Structure 1
Amino acid sequence: MSTSISNQTLVHLAEKYGTPLYVYNFNTIERQYKKLQSAFEGTNTRFFYACKALTNINVLKYVKSLGANIDCSSINEVKLALKAGFPAKRILYTSNGISFDEIEVAKELGVYINIDSLSNLRKFGEAFGDQYPVGLRLRPNIMAGGNLKISTGHENSKFGIPVDLLDDILTIVKAYDINVIDLHIHTGSEIKDVGVFVKGIEVLFDLLPHFPHVKVIDLGGGFKVPYKKDEQGTDIDLLAKEVFDAIKSHPNALGRSLEVWFEPGKFLVSECGTLLTKVNVLKKTKTTRFAAVNSGFNHLIRPMFYDAFHQIDNISNENGEVGNYSIVGNICETDTFAWERPMNEIKEGDILAFRNAGAYGFEMASNFNSRYKPAEVMVLNGNDALIRERDQFADLFRKQIEVL
């Protein structure tokens, strides 16, 4: 079964369900998961889908059916995972800056927990002592990721407990006899250099002698996804080889039977997603031709927030003469998706497809300008189904309380 959806089919889906529209090809998710399985075959590795990338319940259920576990960044994501059918022991909860109340709920639900701060580690020890095994999210002071906004392991990052506070960590662990079974790091997103993960192993393995009960080394996620046609993503086969070569050669690995965990999010769902938009208006200045679509950063914030690149294609006119267009949105803010991008000739009413929109697309959408969130559609083995209705007017004030 092909993991791509033809432009003709995408146009048909736009006509059938309207635009803007998120379309997810579930066969692509399967392809990406099988890449991981193949590369790490024969190793003691578990994969936890970082569901913050896309939490539609159908995506969660499908990922579960493939055999993946799930990584959650909030207690509500944990509850969504349970609703999707994941058993507690296939759920990992790693959050930051959160109230200890959330950790207490996660403990009651029986999921794996990674603790992100000395404060919550102390509270955990006071509340539970050695009654419940727990993981530590550490900040390794490694700069990695596509840009600073998606780099989470550097020395000025809010994420994790700094490794240079090891003495403080050990003081708390010893005082409350906390059962630490997992050492976790996540250095960022869009990491192409597999050497970053090897550095992470060195950091964590140097700490192993201090944590005799550790069973898991969690290297997080952040695998690079190719957004441009000439880009290369993370070499997953090389990653598997380098990671396990590093583990086998480290002296602190001797006598330890350790699991290695990864938390791929974007890697699994980015390429499955396409945002379909309709061209509302063409404008021309002395230097620029604008094509304004019926969407904006209220539906896809990545280009404005991260300076992220998305391939955009005019799928209504695949053979049109190529010219440069600036693709912009329809909200009352600067929401430029692309400047001076070579595109097949665009006419009002054409359908533009934004590629690699599965991760952090709909998930970060809003009702800014009181505009509706898009519908979502899944495609699996050539069959399409609506998995989220488009907003309606009543949705804009559903939770408001009129007192005047």
Structure 2
Amino acid sequence: MQLNNQTYQIQGVDVLAIADEFGLPLYVYDADKIIEKIGLLRSSFAGVNLKIKYAAKALTNVSILKLMRQQGVEMDSVSVNEARMGMLAGFTPDQIMFTPSGVSFEEIREAIDMGLQLNVDSLSLLEWVGQNYGGQVPVSIRINPHISEGGNIKISTGHADSKFGISILQRAEIKAIADQYQISVTGLHIHTGSDFKNAGAFLKGAEVLFALASDYPNLTFIDFGSGFKVAYKEGDHITDVAELGRQVSAAFRDFCQQYGRDLELWFEPGKFLVSESGHLLVKTNIVKENPTRTFVAVDSGLNHLIRPMMYDAYHDIKNISNPTGSEKTYNVVGYICETDTFATDRPLPDVRPGDVLSFENAGAYGFSMASNYNARFRPAEVLVYEGKPYLIRQRETFEDLLRGQVDVAVLNPETIEQVR
């Protein structure tokens, strides 16, 4: 989002005009920013056979999935319903990686019947695949490398105590099961978490997978997951993707030469592709001056952006109604009946009731983790594509809150009175 002549714009469209047209609160996504991130990844890994698999859990709107497919990006899913959405967006089953975590065998069977690429996360699942399908279903193996790097522990997935992946210490057991049932292992996968600032974590993971690859002669790909760090505020240290591409590509080319043939190099970026594209626009309800704090209360809350409360995540906030106002310090809070804080002691241009604020980096895990807590509606979603805003999800209504609820007749007032 750019400030032009004191007006915040996305692709030349006034953000306040978008707010007026579609109402608040509102998620707005910039398609150009998503396309830019895809291009950065491709150019950084230009020397290898790269395949990008968008981690759809970050933002699963079908229109976003269609944009990814339009740009030649494939898909990573963690549930069969995500995969179904991908197929509605035009992905073919063979373009969708399915990486479950502790799901039922019934869902695994459904994914196999759909023709998805199965990524095996546990020895018990590998055994089940062997017992039920033998060598008929090609799989990749998700390895836990016991690497602990990156950001918040809640988003770190590669350490020894993580629930994700099969421990590298169980290498012999993996091979024994695969050999016993003649399972076709076509890929090796690793995802150690998020917010890696340099290539070190990826190269450590690469060493683990490259060594393991000698157990499996029929591999077609190595999958490094993701974890690229994005900027949440000015001056944030981010992953140098170009340098990452240079180092990892060189290591991968050396590995392929030793392995005896070229494989595909896969990445599964989610947050990296969509985070910076997203803006959650909200309206200031009240400015509440207490003796020790001044609170800005907005028409949104942790039900629309849970990351600050769940991960202590920092999101930049812009006052797009009064960008040149004198700076003051505020606690920005939501309307949920819980401790619901977006920012503490945050300097902002003078905020007045009715001002529109924008929470930045709201493209990843904003709507996808949103809820109806406190019986609140989830916002509409808008995609700005080629200089025009498009509604890609309608705002919820009261009828949406009631959908699926069943009115039990014995609880009706007249029935209760008859019982008495």
3-state secondary structure, aligned to 1:281: strand
Q: 2:157 aligns with which of 152, 162, 185?
A: 152
**Distance in 2 (alpha carbons) for counterparts of 1:262 and 1:235:** 15
* TM-score (norm: length of structure 1): 0.97
| Residue 267 (1) aligns with residue 237 (2) | no
**Distance in 2 (alpha carbons) for counterparts of 1:40 and 1:193:** 15
**Distance in 1 (alpha carbons) for counterparts of 2:167 and 2:247:** 25
CA contact (8 A) 1:8 1:315 kept: no
3-state secondary structure, aligned to 1:280: strand
Q: 1:225 to 1:251 in 2, by over 3 A?
A: closer
**Distance in 2 (alpha carbons) for counterparts of 1:316 and 1:6:** 18
Q: 2:262 aligns with which of 251, 257, 262?
A: 257
**Distance in 2 (alpha carbons) for counterparts of 1:253 and 1:272:** 40
3-state secondary structure, aligned to 2:296: strand
**Distance in 2 (alpha carbons) for counterparts of 1:252 and 1:144:** 29
3-state secondary structure, aligned to 1:12: helix
* TM-score (norm: length of structure 2): 0.93
Listed as ranges, the matches of 1:171-250 within 5 Å are 171-250=176-255
Give the number of equivalent residue pairs.
403
CA contact (8 A) 1:209 1:252 kept: no
Indicate the residue corresponding to 2:40 in structure 1. Answer: 35
Q: Which runs of 5+ in 1 are unaligned?
A: none
1:304 shift after superposition: 0.3
Deviations 1:265-307 (A, max 9, x none): 0111001100000000111112211000000000000000000
Q: 1:251 to 1:223 in 2, by over 3 A?
A: closer
3-state secondary structure, aligned to 1:197: helix
Q: Which runs of 5+ in 2 are unaligned?
A: 4-8, 412-420
Q: Partner amino acid for 2:364?
A: A
Q: 2:74 aligns with which of 60, 69, 72?
A: 69
Indicate the residue corresponding to 1:122 in structure 2. Answer: 127
Deviations 1:19-73 (A, max 9, x none): 1100011111111111111111231110000000000000000110000010001
Q: 1:282 aligns with which of 284, 287, 301?
A: 287
Q: What's the Cα RMSD here? A: 1.6
Q: Partner amino acid for 2:93?
A: A
1:8 shift after superposition: 7.3
Q: Which has the larger radius of gyration?
A: 2
**Distance in 1 (alpha carbons) for counterparts of 2:324 and 2:210:** 55
Percent identity of paired positions between Structure 1 and Structure 2: 49
**Distance in 1 (alpha carbons) for counterparts of 2:197 and 2:182:** 39
CA contact (8 A) 2:11 2:387 kept: no
Deviates more, 1:166-175 or 1:368-377: 166-175
**Distance in 2 (alpha carbons) for counterparts of 1:26 and 1:254:** 39
CA contact (8 A) 1:23 1:377 kept: yes
**Distance in 1 (alpha carbons) for counterparts of 2:38 and 2:257:** 30
Indicate the residue corresponding to 1:142 in structure 2. Answer: 147
Indicate the residue corresponding to 1:311 in structure 2. Answer: 316
Q: Partner amino acid for 2:241?
A: I
Indicate the residue corresponding to 1:91 in structure 2. Answer: 96
